[in-house]
Structure 1
Amino acid sequence: MEVTGNKNITAESGQDITLTCRAPNNNNIIVLEWSRADLGEKYVLVFRDERFYPEQQHPSFKNRVDLQDRQMKNGDVSLILKNVTINDTGTYECRVVQRGTKRRKRAVLDGKPISIIHLHVDPPGQTGGGTEDGSVGLIVGLIVPAVLLVASVFGFVIYRKHKQQQSQDSYQPPVELQPV
Structure 2
Amino acid sequence: MSAVTASLCSTLMFVLFVSADQKIITAESGQDVTLTCRAPNNNIIGVEWSRADLGDEQYVFLYRDGRFEPDDQHPSFKNRVELQDRQMKDGDVSLILKDVTINDAGTYECGVVQKEPNQMIPSLKLINTTYLHVAPPGE
- Could you state the TM-score of these two structures normalised by the residue count of structure 1? 0.62
Matched with 1:146 is none
Return the letter of the residue paired with 1:14: G
Matched, 1:43 2:62: no
Matched, 1:20 2:41: no
Return the letter of the residue paired with 1:31: G
* Residues 29, 72 of structure 1: alpha-carbon distance in 2 compared, 3 angstrom cutoff: same
Query: C-alpha displacement at 1:125, in angstroms?
Result: 1.8
Matches within 5 A, 1:91-170: 91-100=107-116, 101=119, 102-104=121-123, 109=124, 111=125, 113-126=126-139
Measured in 1, the distance between the counterparts of 2:135 and 2:27 equals: 6
Matched with 2:105 is 89
Matched, 1:33 2:48: yes
Query: What is the aligned length?
Result: 117
Query: C-alpha displacement at 1:19, in angstroms?
Result: 0.3
**8 Å Cα contact 2:62-2:72 kept in structure 1:** yes
Instruction: Give the fraction of aligned pairs with identical amino acids, expressed as a percent.
Output: 69
Query: C-alpha displacement at 1:122, in angstroms?
Result: 0.6
Matched, 1:64 2:80: yes
Matched with 1:172 is none
**8 Å Cα contact 1:35-1:43 kept in structure 2:** yes
Measured in 2, the distance between the counterparts of 1:45 and 1:4 equals: 23
Measured in 2, the distance between the counterparts of 1:19 and 1:114 equals: 12
Matched with 1:76 is 92
- Could you state the TM-score of these two structures normalised by the residue count of structure 2? 0.80
**8 Å Cα contact 2:42-2:88 kept in structure 1:** no
Structure with bigger RCO (C-alpha 8 Å, 6+ apart):
2
Query: C-alpha displacement at 1:27, in angstroms?
Result: 2.9
**8 Å Cα contact 1:5-1:21 kept in structure 2:** no
Higher helix share: 1
| CA-atom RMSD in angstroms | 1.5
Measured in 2, the distance between the counterparts of 1:6 and 1:122 equals: 20
Higher strand share: 2
Query: 5+ residue gaps in structure 1?
Result: 127-180
Query: C-alpha displacement at 1:94, in angstroms?
Result: 0.2
Instruction: List 4+ stretches of structure 1 deviating above 6 A.
Output: none
